[in-house]
Structure formats: structure tokens, C-alpha cells
Structure 1
């Protein structure tokens, strides 16, 4: 289950309802899909064949199509990251800069763990959303954020897009953000 850490105060928010309520106030969508629905052999697998990626998409087809219909997403895929991913550190550097998008950034975690760092309202500042299997998050367009891996450096997620080109980041310079807080 997702957990939130507010960086300015070190306050932690836990529990699905409390997390959802906090994120709703920050205009961030949070949902939860059943992680046990995925075949056991894929629940801790981070290097995936095309067939295994398709199996994940097929397993969550109903949830993906429901979310896509409600939010206007037109395309989706699977991203799998681990220490076996070629050029992982370079890829993470691309992710680990505060940026925005001209569409929502949506991730449905199917295995592993990851963290979104999001700029909240002025009274909250930056906060971390620690995600694990079953957590679904949609960071709204133009909301400054970035994503990175947790210490185990393993994640599999469904990504949903409105733009058929997929993930396009726009850098966001913010003197109030200190990456050393991660």
C-alpha cells in the first residue's frame, strides 16, 4: 500500500483511505488494483519477455480499459526496470529531474517498488509517494514531479498515455527543490 512522506515536516501518511484523501487534495489520482491477480511467477520478475509483458496487460485488461475510458488514455505499455536494465543509471538520471508533462503521468505498479516526488500545494511543498504492487497513481499534467526507484531498484509498471508518442518530459526549474532530500 502506498505511503506518503511530506518532506518539509517528515510527516508520514499511511493507509489506503488516508493516502487517497491526501492525494485527492493534491489533485493526484490514487487507486489500488489487486496485485495477487497477477500470476505468481510474474509478481517478483523484473526482466520480462514480450510475452510476459502481454500477459501482465491481459491480466489487468479490465482495470486498464476502465481507467483509460474514465481518463481519456489511448495507449499503454509495460516498463520494467532493474539492475539488469541496460544503462539503468543513465535512464534514472533522465527520470530524476523535476519535470512536467502536457498529459497525466500514470503508473500502475504490478511488481516491485518506486517513488514519485511531487510538488504539492504551497502549504505542503514536495512530498514522496512510495508505491508498491497494486498502487495506481496519476500525476496531473503540468504538476512538477519526478520518479525514481526505491533501494531495491526493481519495478514493473503499466504506463498509460493520451499522447501516442508516450513519455515526453519538460524540465521544471525550482530553487525550492533539493534532490538531497530524496
Structure 2
């Protein structure tokens, strides 16, 4: 289940209802899908072939299509990252820069763990959303954020897009942002 850490105060927020309420106030969508639906052999598998990626998409087809219909997403895919990913550190450096998009950035975590760092309202500042299997988040367009891996450096997620060629990051310079 997702957990939030507010960087300015070190306050932690946990529990699905509390996380959802906090993120709603920050204009971030949070949902939880049942990760137990995924076949057991894919629960901790972070190197996937095309057939396994399709199996994940098929497993969560109903949830994906429901979210897409409600939010206007037109295409989706699977991203799998681990230490076996070629040039992982270079990829993470690219991800770990505060940026915005002209569409939502959506992740539905199916295995592993990841973290979004998001700029909240002025009274909140930056906060971390630690995600695990079953957590679904949609950071709205134009909201400064970035995504990275947790210490285990393993994640599999469904990504949903409005633009069929995927999102493009626009750098967001912010002197108030400090890496944790």
C-alpha cells in the first residue's frame, strides 16, 4: 500500500483512505488494484518478454480500460526496470530531474516498488509517494514531479498515455527542490 512522506516536516501518511484523501487534495489520482490477480510467476519477475508483458496487460485489462475510459487515455504499455536493464543508471538520471508533462503521468505498479516525488501546494511543498504492487497513481499534467526506483531497484508498471507516442518531459527548474 502506498505511503507518503512530506519532505518539509517528515510527516508520514499511510492507509489507503488517508493516502487517497491527501493525494486528492494535491490533485493527484490514487487507486488500488488487486495485485493478487497477477499469476504468481510474475509477482517478482522484472525481466519480461513480450508474451509476459501481454499477460500482465491481459490480467489487468478491465482495470486499464476502466481508467482509460474515465481519464481519456488512448494507449498503454509495460515498463520493467531492474539492475538487468541496460544503462539503468543513465535512465534513472534522466528520470530523476524535476519536470512536467502536457498530459498526466500514470503508473499502475504490478511488481516491485517505485517512488514519485511531487511538488504539492505551497503549504505542503514536495512530498514522496512510495508505491508498491497494486498502487495506481496519476500525476496531472503541468504538475512538477519525477519518478525513480526504491532501494531494491526493481519495478514493473503499466503506463497509460493520451498521446500515442508517449509523454515528453519538460524540465522544471525549482530552487526550492532538494534531493533527499
How far apart, CA to CA, are the structure 1 residues paired with 2:178 and 2:167? 24
How far, CA to CA, are the matches of 2:30 and 2:166 in structure 1?
A: 21
Aligned twin of 1:101: 101
In structure 2, how many angstroms separate the alpha carbons of the residues matched to 1:72 and 1:170? 21
What residue in structure 1 maps to residue 113 of structure 2? 113
User: Equivalent residue for 2:147?
Assistant: 147
Aligned ranges 1:22-61 → 2 under 5 Å: 22-61=22-61
Aligned partners of 2:38 and 2:59 also within 8 Å: yes
Preserved contact between residue 102 and residue 167 of structure 2 (Cα < 8 Å): no
- What does residue 85 of structure 1 align with? 85
Long gaps (5+) in structure 1: none
1:167 Cα deviation after fit: 2.6
C-alpha distance in structure 1 between counterparts of 2:5 and 2:126, whole Å: 9
Structure 2: which 5+ runs fail to align? none
Deviations 1:112-170 (A, max 9, x none): 00000000000000000000000000000000000000000000000000001103100
2:15 aligned residue = 15
SS of 2:157 mapped into structure 1: strand
Partners of 2:142 and 2:32 lie apart in 1 by: 23
Q: Specify the alignment match of 1:137 in structure 2.
A: 137
TM-score normalised by length of structure 2: 1.00
How many residues end up aligned between the 2 structures? Answer: 180
SS at match of 1:160: strand
Aligned equivalent of 1:159: 159
Alpha-carbon distance in structure 1 between the residues aligned to 2:137 and 2:116: 9
Structure 1 Cα separation of the partners of residues 167 and 41 of structure 2: 28
Query: What's the counterpart of residue 126 of structure 1?
Result: 126
Separation of aligned partners in 2, 1:97 and 1:116: 11
Which consecutive segments of 4 or more residues in structure 1 shift more than 2 A? none
Rounded to whole Å, the distance in 2 between the matches of 1:87 and 1:44 is: 21
Distance 2:156 2:168 in 1: 19
